């Protein structure tokens, strides 16, 4: 009995080791299997399932962080030309959707907007507006800083409006603020005021022309301080869109989207590394 003890112990340890190794192996495989579809979904994004008419193709699509909107775009750097398709559901069946670039600020004021108005007409009508602030817009387009061509709109699935256009940007533009919005009604060919919910006020983000990957820079990491003591991202009340109080919202929204977009593939990579380490 006594003589067996020394030989027994290593054998037991080996069994325990191999059992736990097999368990870790299975666990890693499970994590990998669970993470993969999620990672693929996050990488492709919901916008990737949009089916446009055959002649409309875009190099990039991006699910925007608010209002269920998406932007599809192709940037031709040699011509500084940006082709876009903006997709969003209006806030009402005879409402409007808008998207634009703001070269001078973050909020609505200064936005060079493309607006697709459904109104009572069957097909959405596209107009351009140089948005100067919270002043009612007229029924006629106003000139915008980026000459717009190929303006058109059609209806997508689920009552969404798809707004198409091509903007002549300024030479050398690399990153620009984008702003989008949805409204519920149209009067006299003009978009009526939109709602002032948290997502209406936070519907802005950076559009990085060039590679999409550069949008997730370490500089955009959320800092814990504003959460603890500063204004919360949802604290901006009605009418504070252009004020300092709402300047927290866009970065917070972008960070949330960035985190959501990055975490699933990162998880898959981690699982894969773990899996390889065990094998």
Ligand X SMILES: *[C@@H]1O[C@H](CO)[C@@H](O)[C@H](O)[C@H]1NC(C)=O
Least distance between ligand X and beta carbon 138 (Å): 13
- Reported for 28-37, long-range contacts at CB under 8 A and 24+ positions apart, including other chains, are 28/271, 28/274, 28/275, 28/278, 29/275, 31/267, 31/271, 31/274, 32/268, 32/271, 32/272, 32/275, 35/264, 35/267, 35/268, 35/271, 36/268
217 is an interface residue for ligand X by CB under 6 A:
no
Q: Which of 37, 53, 143, 147 binds ligand X (CB under 6 A)?
A: 143
147 is an interface residue for ligand X by CB under 6 A:
no
User: What is the chain's length?
Assistant: 279
Candidates 17-25, 141-149, 250-258, 269-277: pick the segment binding ligand X (CB under 6 A). Answer: 141-149
104 is an interface residue for ligand X by CB under 6 A:
no
Whether 131 and 111 have beta carbons less than 8 Å apart is answered as yes
How many residues touch ligand X under the rule CB under 6 A: the total is 5
Q: Which of 60, 80, 130, 168 binds ligand X (CB under 6 A)?
A: 130
168 is an interface residue for ligand X by CB under 6 A:
no
Q: How many CB atoms sit inside 10 A of residue 246's CB?
A: 22
109 is an interface residue for ligand X by CB under 6 A:
no
167 is an interface residue for ligand X by CB under 6 A:
no
Q: Hunting for tokens 């301080």 — which residue is that?
A: 225
| Half-sphere CA count of 24, side-chain side, radius 13 A | 14
133 is an interface residue for ligand X by CB under 6 A:
no
Calpha distance 207→177 (Å, rounded): 6
Least distance between ligand X and beta carbon 133 (Å): 9
Least distance between ligand X and beta carbon 131 (Å): 8
31 is an interface residue for ligand X by CB under 6 A:
no
125 is an interface residue for ligand X by CB under 6 A:
no
Whether 122 and 133 have beta carbons less than 8 Å apart is answered as no
Q: How many CB atoms sit inside 10 A of residue 253's CB?
A: 21
Q: Which of 144, 151, 153, 215 binds ligand X (CB under 6 A)?
A: 144
DSSP letter at 230 equals S
Residue 31 or 145: the one with the smaller Cβ distance to ligand X is 145
Candidates 19-27, 142-150, 233-241, 254-262: pick the segment binding ligand X (CB under 6 A). Answer: 142-150
Residue 30 or 134: the one with the smaller Cβ distance to ligand X is 134
Any idea of the CA torsion for 261, 243, 165, 73, to the nearest 10 degrees? -20
Question: Residue numbers of the site for ligand X (CB under 6 A)?
Answer: 130, 132, 143-145
């Amino acid at each position: 009995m006594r003589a067996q003890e020394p030989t027994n112990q290593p054998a037991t340890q080996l069994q325990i080791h191999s059992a736990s190794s097999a368990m870790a192996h299975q666990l890693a495989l499970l994590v990998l299997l669970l993470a993969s579809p999620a990672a693929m979904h996050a990488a492709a994004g919901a916008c990737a399932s949009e089916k446009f008419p055959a002649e409309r193709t875009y190099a990039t699509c991006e699910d925007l962080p608010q209002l269920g909107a998406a932007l599809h775009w192709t940037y031709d750097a040699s011509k500084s030309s940006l082709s876009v398709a903006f997709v969003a559901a209006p806030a009402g069946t005879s409402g409007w959707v808008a998207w634009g670039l703001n070269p001078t600020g973050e909020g609505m004021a200064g936005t060079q907007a493309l607006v697709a108005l459904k109104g009572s007409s069957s097909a959405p009508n596209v107009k351009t507006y140089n948005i100067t602030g919270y002043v009612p817009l007229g029924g006629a387009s106003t000139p915008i800083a980026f000459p717009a061509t190929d303006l058109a709109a059609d209806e997508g699935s689920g009552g969404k409006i798809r707004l198409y256009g091509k903007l002549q940007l300024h030479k050398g533009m690399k990153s620009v603020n984008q702003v989008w919005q949805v409204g519920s009604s149209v009067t006299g060919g003009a978009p009526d005021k939109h709602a002032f919910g948290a997502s209406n006020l936070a519907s802005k983000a950076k559009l990085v022309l060039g590679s999409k990957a550069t949008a997730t820079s370490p500089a955009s990491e959320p800092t814990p301080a504003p959460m603890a003591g500063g204004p919360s991202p949802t604290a901006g009340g009605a009418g504070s869109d252009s004020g300092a109080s709402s300047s927290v919202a866009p970065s917070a929204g972008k960070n949330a989207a960035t985190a959501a977009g990055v975490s699933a593939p990162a998880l898959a990579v981690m699982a894969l590394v773990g899996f390889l380490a065990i094998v």
